[in-house]
């Protein structure tokens, strides 16, 4: 028998009560018996009692079922009661529902659950309605703040939810998504630690638009143009010389107006730069990294993955090597599928989708035409029309998740390409210095964290994978 097993006592104990619109601290003692329910109490009766402010004697062994469910099923039905008290109960229910933190507790264990603005004491019991099949049967709930009813329900429009994103992120779905995201970032960091790749902290405020002007967010930097970083790559290349193997996880900003399900204006770019690395070694590194982190997340967050529609076994089935095809081969395949493409065509969403729609493994597309790619990519020595670059396409049609290349070593070629993208060579002098003062062959890549998650979690839209998505039409909340 657990603590305080006196039975039959039931009271509504208000320690303090202000206007409900203010913060309210009150304690609802529903039952002091914290044993598992033997004779479940009718939840509606309990609420009725509370509404009348009455104490009820004679109920044995009872706890008030889980107040979360009490409210969902019954509160709405009690329409003739005072609004204030209904609101109270619903609030407590919302808090419990929104913030259950009892995973891992054994069935039958007595627990004290802390949720936002409250705490519940009770017993863990089986409940098939709960996400993990267990629920706390609350014997006491302390409400620390009574607010207005929670505005998020089922079947609300996407826009409504995005406008209330600061509250919608309390949903079980969001909780699962961001647990997986945290695990993914942890897995990357663990992988880099093992591979002795050192974490760096490049700037986000910059004086040149690294990847070219059109897609950079420009702002006034004390009278001079400043840009939000599109990539940390140029800084990582500088940091490579003292550290040899470096990475950074930084937000990247793209002023692309593209409203697609895979573009954000702010995303997390995980970028790596490796010295003494040729193209084959680069692709092997990416492949090893992907398999490693996907397996780690599948093993540690199986429950969340499953609840989000991605059985972890599907990630565990992903193995090296990934198929590698040249861009020219991709063009052939696409032409056979009826796409009007030729050597030089950019591969957009539809083309990338078609290339992996049927596959379960990611696909490397290599040797893109030079003009399609960034100025710093190494011109292929065997086919000068192309660069030693690869995009890794996610399986199941999800498209580019990683952009990788060996870096151009010759200053003249870099200057030529900088001119072609319409940038001013003077602004890149510091970058060209890296080639002047003792260059080594190196290569690197950037991985879009939200792109990877979109695929891993089978999300229709990339915005689901970031708590406060930034798109051309939204930077609030
Ligand atoms: O391919 P990107 O533009 O490559 C670079 O930024 C290189 N400088 C990286 C490097 O080599 N260090 O971007 C890298 C990845 C893409 O493969 C894609 O996954 C993701 O970032 N990405 C985006 N994700 C969300 N929204 C956008 N608008 C994105 N643009 C690129
Ligand atoms: Mg790219």
User: 3-class secondary structure for 55-75?
Assistant: CCCCCCCCCCCCHHHHHHHHH
Tell whether the model's pLDDT for residue 88 goes beyond 60: no
Residue ending a domain, choose from 153, 186, 205: 153
Provide mean pLDDT across the span 409-425.
Answer: 91
Q: Which residues neighbour 54 within 8 Å (Cβ) at sequence distance 6 or greater? A: none
Distance between Cα 134 and ligand 1 center (Å): 41
User: Measured between alpha carbons, how far is residue 13 from residues 41, 113, 409, 419 in Å?
Assistant: 19, 20, 75, 76
- Say yes or no: 48 and 174 in one domain: no
Instruction: State the pLDDT at residue 211.
Output: 76
Mutating to test ligand 1, I would choose from 234, 257, 258, 267 the residue with most ligand atoms within 8 A of its C-beta, which is: 267
**Ligand 1 atom nearest to CA at 376:** 8
Contact in structure between 268 and 449 (CB atoms under 8 Å):
yes
Residues 221 and 360 in one domain: yes
Query: Which band of pLDDT confidence, cut at 50, 70 and 90, is reported for residue 79?
Result: very low
What stretches of 311-366 adopt beta strand conformation (E)? 323-326, 363-366
- Domain span at 136: 5-153
- C-beta contacts of 456-461 below 8 A and 24+ residues apart: 456/180, 456/184, 456/294, 456/297, 456/305, 456/310, 456/315, 457/177, 457/180, 457/305, 457/308, 457/309, 457/310, 458/308, 458/309, 458/310, 460/261, 461/261
Ligand 1 atom closest to residue 402's alpha carbon, by position in its atom list: 17
Mean pLDDT value across residues 376-391: 96
Most confident range, picked from 52-66, 107-121, 263-277: 263-277
Do residues 305 and 376 share a domain?
A: yes
Strands 389-394 and 198-199: unpaired
Instruction: Say yes or no: 232 and 86 in one domain.
Output: no
Judgement on whether residues 130 and 175 belong to the same structural domain of the protein: no
- Asked whether residue 284 falls in the same domain as residue 381, the answer is yes
Q: Could you report the per-residue pLDDT of 302-341, keeping only the tens digit for each? A: 999 999 999 999 999 999 999 999 999 999 999 999 999 9
Residue predicted with more confidence, 312 or 80: 312
Number of domains the chain is built from: 2
Domain boundary among 153, 187, 210: 153
Query: What single DSSP character describes residue 401?
Result: E
pLDDT tops 70 at residue 139: no
* Three-class SS state of 92: helix
Q: Is the dihedral of CA 419, 422, 427, 431 positive or negative?
A: negative
Residue ranges near ligand 2 (ion) with Cβ within 5 Å: 403
Peptide bond into 458 cis (omega under 30): no
CA of 392 to the centre of ligand 2 (A): 9
- Residue 87 shares a structural domain with residue 13: yes
- Evaluate whether residue 250 is within a structural domain: yes
Q: Phi/psi of residue 218, each to 5°?
A: -105, 145
> Which of helix, strand or coil describes residue 282?
helix
Question: Is residue 17 in a domain?
Answer: yes
How far is it, in rounded angstroms, from Cα 232 to Cα 252? 8
Among protein residues, the one with the nearest Cα to ligand 1's atom 20 is 448
What's residue 423's pLDDT? 84
* pLDDT greater at residue 119 or residue 476: 476
Neighbours of 469 (CB within 10 A): 19
CB atoms within 10 A of CB 199: 12
Distances (CA, A) of 5 to 9, 64, 66, 69, 477: 10, 15, 18, 24, 47
Phi-psi region of 132 (alpha: psi -120 to 50; beta: other; left: phi over 0): alpha
Distance 318 CA to ligand 2 centre (A): 22
Q: Residue 395's domain is classified under what CATH number?
A: 3.30.930.10
Relative to the alpha carbon of 249, which ligand is closest? 1
Select from 128, 153, 178 the last residue of a domain.
Answer: 153
Give me the pLDDT at residue 375, please.
Answer: 93
Strands 245-253 and 198-199: parallel
3-state DSSP assignment of residue 368: coil
Residue 429 lies in a domain: yes
Residue nearest to ligand 1 atom 18, measured at CA: 448
Is 304 found in the same domain as 411? yes
d(CA 366, CA 326): 5
Q: Is residue 163 assigned to a domain?
A: no
Considering only CA atoms, which of 317, 321, 305 is closest in space to residue 453? 305
Residue 396 CA, distance from chain mean position: 19
**What is the pTM for the complete model shown?**
0.79
Q: Of 433, 27, 458, 440, nearest to 243 (Cα)? A: 440
């Amino acid at each position: 028998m657990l603590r305080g097993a006196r039975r039959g006592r039931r009271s509504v104990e208000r320690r303090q009560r202000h206007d409900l619109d203010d913060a309210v601290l009150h304690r609802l003692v529903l039952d002091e018996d914290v044993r598992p329910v033997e004779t479940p109490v009718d939840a509606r009766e309990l609420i009725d009692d509370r509404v009348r402010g009455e104490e009820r004697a004679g109920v044995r062994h009872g706890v008030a079922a889980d107040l979360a469910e009490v409210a969902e099923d019954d509160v709405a039905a009690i329409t003739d009661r005072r609004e204030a008290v209904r609101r109270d109960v619903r609030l407590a229910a919302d808090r419990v529902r929104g913030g259950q933190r009892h995973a891992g507790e054994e069935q039958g264990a007595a627990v004290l659950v802390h949720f936002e603005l409250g705490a519940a004491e009770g017993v863990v019991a089986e409940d098939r309605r709960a996400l993990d099949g267990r629920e706390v049967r609350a014997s006491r709930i302390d409400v620390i703040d009574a607010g207005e009813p929670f505005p998020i329900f089922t079947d609300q429009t996407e826009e409504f939810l995005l406008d209330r994103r600061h509250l919608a992120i309390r949903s079980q779905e969001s909780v699962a998504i961001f647990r997986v995201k945290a695990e993914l970032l942890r897995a990357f960091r663990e992988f880099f630690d093992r591979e002795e790749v050192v974490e760096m902290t490049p700037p986000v405020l910059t004086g040149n638009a690294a990847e070219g002007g059109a897609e950079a967010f420009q702002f006034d930097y004390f009278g001079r143009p400043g840009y939000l970083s599109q990539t940390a790559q140029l800084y990582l290349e500088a940091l490579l010389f003292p550290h040899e193997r470096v990475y950074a996880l930084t937000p990247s900003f793209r002023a692309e107006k593209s409203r697609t399900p895979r573009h954000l204006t702010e995303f997390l770019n995980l970028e790596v730069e490796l010295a003494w690395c040729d193209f084959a070694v680069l692709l092997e590194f990416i492949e090893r990294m992907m398999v490693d982190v996907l397996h780690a997340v599948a093993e540690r967050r199986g429950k969340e993955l499953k609840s989000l529609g991605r059985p972890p076994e599907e990630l565990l089935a992903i193995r090296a090597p990934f198929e590698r095809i040249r861009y020219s081969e991709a063009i052939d395949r696409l032409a056979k599928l009826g796409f009007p493409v030729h050597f030089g065509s950019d591969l957009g969403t539809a083309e990338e989708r078609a290339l992996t729609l049927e596959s379960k493994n990611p696909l490397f597309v290599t040797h893109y035409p030079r003009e399609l790619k960034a100025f710093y990519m190494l011109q292929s020595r065997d086919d000068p029309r192309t660069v030693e670059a690869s995009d890794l396409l996610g399986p199941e049609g999800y498209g580019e998740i990683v952009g990788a290349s060996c870096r151009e070593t010759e200053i003249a070629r870099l200057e030529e390409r900088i001119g072609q993208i319409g940038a001013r060579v003077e602004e890149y002098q510091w970058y060209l210095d890296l080639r002047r003062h003792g260059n080594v062959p190196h290569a690197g890549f950037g991985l879009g964290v939200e792109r990877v998650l979109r695929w891993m979690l089978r999300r229709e839209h990339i915005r689901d994978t970031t708590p406060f998505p930034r798109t051309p039409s939204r930077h609030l909340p």
